[in-house]
Amino acid sequence: MKKQAGANSKHASQWINTLEQYAFPFIGDKSVTHIGIDDAKAVLNSIWKGKTETASRVRQRIEVVLDYAFLYEGVDKSNSARWNGCLDHVFAAPKKVSPVVHFNAIPYINLPGVMQALRIKTSV
């Protein structure tokens, strides 16, 4: 598979590790031509509700791998890991499963003090 341009080693490691941990047990030995919607569901079912962000990333990564394989192996088949028009009919949208929780805003009047405190801090 083609390595992403500009991807750092940590990102590349996370990319393959999530596939090894979550996807390979279900589809690791299958030919891309035999991976279907039931396989995508099997990979995602156990993690969609409890690890929604991870599940969403795993789904996206499977989709990329299948797209690449279909393109370079001349497979004329729809991608069973695609969200729009496929898995969006099976799973609730990630934002509905794990809604985004934002930090509270600081009052505008306190912003100069917060900025000063941040400038003093050193990062590790």
pLDDT of residue 101: 82
pLDDT in tens, the chain (124 residues): 556 555 678 888 889 999 999 999 999 999 999 999 999 999 999 999 999 999 999 999 999 999 999 999 888 889 999 999 999 999 999 888 877 788 899 999 999 999 998 888 876 5
Residue 122 lies in a domain: no
Among residues 51, 50, 59, the alpha carbon closest in space to that of 90 is found at 59
Write the CATH number for 60: 1.10.150.130
C-alpha 66/C-alpha 81 separation (Å) is 8
DSSP 8-state code for residue 33: G
Tell me if 75 is assigned to some domain: yes
Query: Is 118 within a domain?
Result: no
Residue 42: inside a domain: yes
Alpha carbon 21 to chain centroid distance? 13
Domain for residue 107, yes or no? no
Total domains in the fold of the chain:
1
Q: Write 61-67 long-range contacts (CB < 8 A, 24+).
A: 61/15, 61/18, 61/19, 61/23, 62/19, 62/23, 62/27, 65/1, 65/19, 65/32, 66/32, 66/35
Structural domain of 92: 9-99
Q: Is residue 28 part of a domain?
A: yes
Cβ atoms of 87 and 60 within 8 Å: the answer is no
Asked if the structure places residue 56 within a domain, the reply is: yes
In a domain, 50, yes or no: yes
